[in-house]
Structure 1
Amino acid sequence: MIRRAGKLVTGESFVLAAVRDGSAKLVLMANDTGASSQKQFRDKTASYQVPLYETFTKDQLSTAIGSARTVIAITDPGFVRKLQQLLAD
């Protein structure tokens, strides 16, 4: 649904750019991502104060969005609020 709405950014370089320009409201990173990528995204999201969730595996994220990705960003605050509510339950 988020992808169809055009509020999803996928791919490492695009997600980093979204974090830097302030459009990323939430980043989901696979917990089985490589160590250097994990450090890069942890540092960047902490620096720009963007919430980072590492709850899912690469397979789970890829299945959810329909393409193989290790990191995705959501740019819509409404979708982020609802997803955070669902993850908290």
Structure 2
Amino acid sequence: MLSFLGLTRKSGNLILGYNKNEEAVKTGKISLMIVSKEASENTKDKFKSYSEKYHVPLIEDFTPDELGYALGLEGIAVVGVTKKSMAKKLQEIYSSIQEEE
């Protein structure tokens, strides 16, 4: 999943960071949100609320270092996927990973 997330970034279909994702979800630009499991409780609660309010799927998993490594950056806590087809593929990959565990 993290490899595909890296490809999503290279294709220009990711929004990185708290503030940019907060704005993008409110304007309907995000098809999937990924929040680090180590993000602050306030951050997790806020994006869970946005997920429900704006009907955007949310994955809460991975450490900031795992997300950052996949994206070629330092630790990242909040990621938004803008392209629907890529968001769907990431959800499918994530679901298959969860079924294996």
- Give TM-score, length-normalised by structure 1: 0.94
In the alignment, structure 1 residue 61 sits paired with structure 2 residue 67: yes
User: Runs of 4 or more off by more than 3 Å in structure 1?
Assistant: none
What stretches of structure 1 of length at least 5 have no aligned partner? none
Q: Percent identity?
A: 28
Q: Secondary structure at the match of 2:9?
A: coil
| Matched length | 89
- Give TM-score, length-normalised by structure 2: 0.83
- Pick the structure with more helix per residue: 2
In the alignment, structure 1 residue 5 sits paired with structure 2 residue 15: no
- In 2, Cα distance between the equivalents of 1:63 and 1:55? 14
CA shift, 1:27, in A, is: 0.3
Provide the alpha-carbon RMSD of the alignment. Answer: 0.9
What stretches of structure 2 of length at least 5 have no aligned partner? 1-6, 97-101
In the alignment, structure 1 residue 50 sits paired with structure 2 residue 56: yes
